[in-house]
Chains A and B, each alone.
Chain A
């Protein structure tokens, strides 16, 4: 009788279609991960430096991802600034030389760092 019911009212999502969707997502992620260019960490670091000149942010408030959307690669940058306090921008040309109070290790923007 179950067979008759299944036949007359097929379930909309089969387990096979769930399997396919899950695989597509996990593999898109893993393929991107294995092919992630090694400039991503450095890009993230420099973004923190630049944004950090204008607002106070923590390192973990900027996320850089290389993703896939349809057939195209997508560089996704999320910057979280909610509740961040605005700073006085440093004088043009001063850049890293200007002593930034939030500074510490972030000021050396172009440190060559490769994995």
Chain B
């Protein structure tokens, strides 16, 4: 198999498996996976983002490569295609690859041994392997988190999302491979998405401090609610490629923190408005 390894320093760097998970659906896992992988690629890291949501493939749409899918994750697991036939290289960034999943309705197509084999092969070529988990706590979600070294918990400032995040954090610390082997635990970090600082200021939404206190895991970032996210998904562009977008910049900050940089939290205060508008104005 003609893989693109062989760059001497690859063996020094241990590839990292990052799972993006949440328990609850619709909180922004796929948006986050796409943004996070693209952000890592923009920082010069060779990155692949894998769709673990077998049967409900959507990462390809968010990444804008839906018409280029030929082979998928399940084909590679079953040996019907090799890795390089299935990987899609992003047209905007050479460091970024997309690994789409299958539309099969066979729920058990994701075999743990097969996934492990494919991840081991990916680790030879990539610095970061970002796993976009399906919602729920069933087979697909468990498989997505099982091999993780790091986890990004995507949470909305809303009761059901926080509760489900708590549940998935419990599963990560008891049922991941690292937990089973008594290895150093999965590095779990919180990404609070769809945050509306205005509503927080009015006491209508949990604050970032509230959620951090309840879940008691380190905060990776806060992504403000933003119209640009829907625009980005409409066009199949990871949000970090939109330099105007506050959400895109917040994701880039989160990626920088993930890589060990110190960055101040932005977009957590409401935009300043005049005194008059505060009293009488409507947004």
Q: How large is the interface on A (under 10, 10 to 19, 20 to 34, 35 or more residues)?
A: 20 to 34
Q: Decide: A7 and B279 in contact? CB cutoff 8 A.
A: yes
Contact B166 A31 (CB under 8 A): yes
In the assembled complex, B162 has its CB within 8 A of some CB on chain A = yes
Which residue of the partner chain, among B162, B166, B204, B279, contacts A14 with CB atoms under 8 Å? B204
Nearest B residue to A4 via CB reads B279
Neighbouring A residues of B170 by C-beta, 8 Å? 31, 34
Question: What is the interface of chain B mostly: helix, strand, loop, or mixed?
Answer: helix
Judge whether A76 is part of the interface by a CB distance below 8 angstroms: no
Question: Quick check: A3 and B279 within 8 Å, CB to CB?
Answer: yes
Q: How large is the interface on B (under 10, 10 to 19, 20 to 34, 35 or more residues)?
A: 10 to 19
Complex contacts, B109 vs chain A, CB 8 Å: none
Q: What 1/0 mask marks residues of chain A from 8 to 38 whose CB sits below 8 Å from any chain B CB? A: 0011001111011011101100110010000
B163 adjacent to A16 (CB under 8 Å): no
Q: B210 near A14 (CB under 8 angstroms)?
A: no
Contact A30 B204 (CB under 8 A): no
B128 to chain A, nearest CB (A): 31
Pick from B159, B202, B280: contact of A19, CB under 8 Å: B159
Residues of B within 8 A of A10 (CB): 203
Residue B203 contacts which of A3, A4, A17, A34 (CB distance < 8 angstroms)? Answer: A17
Interface: B205 (CB within 8 A): yes
Please name the residue on chain A nearest to B215 by beta carbon.
A27
One digit per residue, 1 when the CB lies within 8 angstroms of any chain A CB and 0 when it does not, for chain B 195-207 equals 0000010111111
Q: Does B167 contact A (CB under 8 A)?
A: yes
Residues of B that sit less than 8 Å from A by CB: 158-159, 162-163, 166-167, 170, 200, 202-207, 210, 214, 278-280
The 6 A-B residue pairs with the shortest CB-CB distance in the complex, in nearest-first order: A14-B203, A20-B210, A16-B203, A19-B159, A27-B166, A16-B206
Enumerate chain A interface residues (CB-CB to B < 8 A): 3-4, 6-7, 10-11, 14-17, 19-20, 22-24, 26-27, 30-31, 34
